[in-house]
Amino acid sequence: MYSFRKIMIVLSFLIFILPFIACKTLSPPPKLNVTVAVTPPQVELAFPAILKVPIVFTGTGWKPKEMVVVDMVLPPGVQMQGVKPGEDVGIAYGEADNAGNFKAEVSASSKLNTFFRVGYTLILSIDPKTLNPIPPGVYKIKASGADSGAVATTTLEFVAPVKK
């Protein structure tokens, strides 16, 4: 009987008290000081010239080997097929290296689908008649760490094409 009581006391301690002690001693993960930047900071909405302009995001301070997703925040009134109002749209992603630095380039398909909201033909080639560029302006860009949840922001300006 005495050993049964001992077992019950130890089990009660392990089940009810130890988790509180363990949680109290755990500290929250350190807040990361993350950054994101874009090169170039201004892009002309000219098709097909934009396809030749590399738009590259770089950042520092991310967790090593963390996936970083770069989203464009759509302002009110700017609609995109398949994106609900208030949602952001992904435009690039990259993986942080061992030092926490990442680099991500916007792909041609992302430029077409996001910046020009292009439609496709039945044979899945772009339909130039459906080019519908986003309105020129300054757009907020948000980089988010998939593991850490850390967020950094910057802006990317789209300018109207120069008339020739």
Tell me the average pLDDT across 44-67. 96
b/e 52-77 (16+ beta carbons within 10 angstroms → b): eeebebbbbbbbeebbbbbbbebeee
Nearest to 42 by CA among 161, 156, 163, 162: 156
pTM listed for this prediction: 0.79
Please give the mean pLDDT across all residues of the chain: 86
Does residue 33 surpass a pLDDT of 90? Answer: yes
Domains for the chain: give ranges and CATH numbers.
32-159 (2.60.40.10)
Q: Cis ω on the peptide bond leading into residue 28 (within 30° of 0)?
A: no
Does residue 124 surpass a pLDDT of 70? Answer: no
Indicate if the alpha-carbon torsion angle 120, 94, 158, 138 is positive or negative: positive
Q: What is the pLDDT of residue 12?
A: 58
Q: What is the pLDDT of residue 151?
A: 97
Q: What is the pLDDT of residue 89?
A: 96
**pLDDT confidence bin for 10, thresholds 50/70/90:** low
